[in-house]
Structure formats: structure tokens, C-alpha cells
Amino acid sequence: MNAEAIHQTLKKRFPDGVGELHTETIDPWIEVQPEHIADVCRFCKEDEALGFDFLSNLTGVDAHNDLLVVYHLYAYGKRHSAVLKVRVPKGKPVTKTVTTVWRTANWFERECYDLLGVRFEGHPDLRRLLLPDDWEGHPLRKEYMFPTEYGGIDNTRDYGF
């Protein structure tokens, strides 16, 4: 099944939750509304024609005014893939968890929360994964300023250039 067919299937089932198909990139992607992502993903997994049994990656991207959560899906039995993206505003970066669809989403969502600050409603254990609990900010945001010290340790670097 190609990207256009996957998009048509999703758009028919979720007319208000699924947006445009973007084909101008190497990996075509489908925009999904944040409040619909869990239902769309469940359908992607359970629908016999789609059969997306594997969430191969979930990551986030700082798109200046918004954050994008990117879902890479794969169907081993069907040998097709899809990319879904959810756009959330930086001021309120919230979407639904997909941990009830794919267990692998647990750590992916925690990493996205830790590094970009995206909150996944319904996540069973949303806490930092890579950084200490008292770390301030989210390092993969474009406006993030790396601290010059943390816990009394100097973070500045002299590369000798």
C-alpha cells in the first residue's frame, strides 16, 4: 500500500482528525490532529489492510513556532510503512500517548518529553529519561541555552581553536 492509499484510508475513517498528505519529502507524511493521534494509531495497527504492527521510531522536531511529533510505522506482514506527524504549539505542547497501542512508545515518548517538553496525556510514567530530574529546560528546542554550570560542575568547553 502506498502513501496515497494509506492517506485515503485514514482520511475516510477520520475526516476531522487526519490532515494533508505531504509528498514533497523523501518520506511522504500525513498530518494528524493531536487529539486524534491515539485513535488513528490504534486504527493503523488493528485495521486488516493497514496492519501497522511496529512503531519503529517516535521523535520530535522543533519547527520554530511549533513542535512536531513524528511517528514512523511499519507493517511487517504487508511490507509497507507510513510517517505520521502531529503539530503542537510550543506554548502548550500536548498530545495523546500511544503507549496503549505500541509498548515501545513508552521510552520514545519519555525521550521526546525530556528533550523537547512534549507532554503525552495518559502516559503511564512520563518523566525525564536522559537528564536529571532537576534539569531546567529542554535541550532540543531551538531557543534553549545550554547552562554554563550544573551542580557546581563547569559546562563550558575550551576546544583550543
pLDDT at 153: 81
**Cell 531546567 sits on residue:** 136
- pLDDT of 149 reads 79
pTM over 0.75: yes
Average pLDDT per 10 consecutive residues for the chain, totaling 161 residues: 97 98 96 98 98 98 96 97 98 97 98 98 97 94 86 79 69
CB 40 within 8 A of CB 12: no
Residue 37: the pLDDT is 98
Q: What is the pLDDT of residue 77?
A: 95
- Residue 158 has a pLDDT of 77
Q: What is the DSSP string of 48-65?
A: TTT---EEEEEEEEEETT
The C-alpha angle 150, 155, 161, rounded to 5 degrees, equals 175
Work out the angle at residue 146's Cα, subtended by the Cα atoms of residues 140 and 152, and round it to the nearest 5 degrees. 135
Residue 9 to residue 23: CA distance in whole angstroms: 16
DSSP bridge partners of 42: none
